[in-house]
Structure 1
Amino acid sequence: MFLPLHDSNPIRYVKVAYVTYGLIALNALIFLIEANLSPAAFEQATIGFGMIPIVVRDLYPQPVAWLPDWANLFTYAFLHADWLHLLTNMLFLWIFGDNIEDAMGHWRFLLFYLSCTGLAALAHLAFNLDGNGPLVGASGAVAGVMGAYVLLYPHARVFVLARIVIPIPLPVPAFWMLGFWIASQIFYLIIDQGEPVSWWAHLGGFAAGIALTFILRRRAVPLLGGR
């Protein structure tokens, strides 16, 4: 229905959002390595570093012997299934991540991102206790960034490519764009047609992002801003 292009929300407290850009670069680098693996090695990497509920719960041996079971709650977010999966997640992180890093500071934003990563994985695990397929992708962590953004900057303008009759760019308040996104996640969860998408990870990451923002934002950054 829509694709975000950019927002009109300047950063104020940091000169460069290097944690956001570093995360994007790291995800891209890891995917480049993945893309050059053989199909069998790619599958093995996904199994070894993805988040598999029965592995995290210690019901099945860890495929990577030196990796603690809990580590998969974080490593999964740096793997992606294909280019579209990677580019979609990184586009959202590019647009919204710099403002959240600005609102929190570099180190607190990194803590925020990793916390959303782990909490999104736990939300997926809670509703898939006996799951034996790997969860991969930064969607849960990026959903946390989006949750923080809608809390801090609901009135900021986001330019989206909307498909009405033909694709056209439209400026819309972040609240409407991100509100539509979260509503769509709930809708797809309800009608679940067996798609290989963890809607619970998205919802868990989004909720975690909102909750953690109250703790990690700068005191000078108000809630419900972006006017």
Structure 2
Amino acid sequence: MFSITITLVIVIITAIISYNAFNNNQIKYDLIMYPPAISERKQWYRLFSYGLIHADFIHLAFNMYALYLFGSSLESDYKSIFGNVLGSIFYLLLYIFALLFSILPSYKKNETNSGYSSLGASGAVSAVIFASIVLRPKKEIGFLFLPKELYFPGYIFGIVYLIASYYMAKKKNDNINHEAHYWGAVFGIIFTILTTYFIAHYPVFTAFINQVAH
């Protein structure tokens, strides 16, 4: 039965705002993570609002597809571990604070750089994907249009992704914010481990090892 989830609400809101920003540059300029606007004009909301806009339809579609795919199962897992209300709250907090923590390193490095800006929900989506990997490490992950035989178990994908993101962030040879991907993923792992282990008393380490071993 179809149901409205937090994941679906985030996807819909992000898609609507991103679509409107495609046709109205003022929306993009008002929401984008632009360091001088934060450091000089104190527009701190930009450390979150940049995740509501995207560079183009492909950027938006890829992020929202990944978010819906992994977010739906993660939201369900959170509710199973924490209960419906607390699970929903923690899932929403994961997404919101992932936007902040994934972009902070880039912001601090470019605090006075008027030529730098960043947009897109990739950091938060990375947090959702890696939080899902923590709880379901054997879930297979691949890319669109590739056969299932070329999919990786989540924990293998995670290792490769973190190494690749760290390497690409150091090289800085494209316009993709790989640093946000990396720190978003790290935040998703840490947030999920800390909340499930210390608040829900869920044996996250034992569960992870048992799933990988079998």
Q: Does 1:203 align with 2:190?
A: no
What is the TM-score normalised by the length of structure 1?
Answer: 0.76
Q: Which residue identity lines up with residue 176 of structure 1 in the other structure?
A: I
For the 8 Å contact 1:127–1:200, the answer to whether it is kept is no
Q: CA shift at 1:178, angstroms?
A: 2.8
Higher helix fraction (1 or 2): 2
Which range moved further: 199-208 or 136-145? 199-208
For the 8 Å contact 1:17–1:98, the answer to whether it is kept is no
For the 8 Å contact 1:140–1:201, the answer to whether it is kept is yes
The corresponding residue for 1:123 is 105
The corresponding residue for 2:11 is 24
Residue of 40, 43, 51 corresponding to 1:69: 43
Q: Does 1:153 align with 2:127?
A: no
Q: Deviations over 1:176-206 (max 9, x none)?
A: 223322222122123221x222122111111
For the 8 Å contact 2:21–2:28, the answer to whether it is kept is no
Cα separation, 2, equivalents of 1:161 and 1:180: 18
Q: Does 1:45 align with 2:27?
A: yes
Do the aligned partners of residues 197 and 131 (structure 1) sit closer, same or farther apart at CA in structure 2, a change above 3 Å counting? farther
Q: Which residue identity lines up with residue 22 of structure 2 in the other structure?
A: A
The corresponding residue for 1:7 is none
Q: Deviations over 1:15-61 (max 9, x none)?
A: 95700111111111112212333xxxx1x322221111222222xx3
Cα separation, 2, equivalents of 1:48 and 1:124: 19
Q: Deviations over 1:70-124 (max 9, x none)?
A: 1111100000010011011112111211222123221210111001011112122
1:98-137 to 2 correspondence within 5 Å? Answer: 98-104=72-78, 105-132=87-114, 133-137=116-120
Higher relative contact order (CA 8 A, sep 6+): 1
Uncovered stretches (5+) of structure 1, i.e. residues with no partner: 1-14, 62-67
Do the aligned partners of residues 186 and 17 (structure 1) sit closer, same or farther apart at CA in structure 2, a change above 3 Å counting? farther
Residue of 139, 158, 168 corresponding to 2:147: 168
Higher strand fraction (1 or 2): 1
What is the TM-score normalised by the length of structure 2?
Answer: 0.80
Q: What RMSD in Å do the two structures reach over aligned CA positions?
A: 2.3
Do the aligned partners of residues 155 and 16 (structure 1) sit closer, same or farther apart at CA in structure 2, a change above 3 Å counting? farther
For the 8 Å contact 1:144–1:208, the answer to whether it is kept is yes
Uncovered stretches (5+) of structure 2, i.e. residues with no partner: 79-86
Residue of 163, 168, 184 corresponding to 1:183: 163
Q: CA shift at 1:221, angstroms?
A: 6.7
Cα separation, 2, equivalents of 1:122 and 1:222: 27
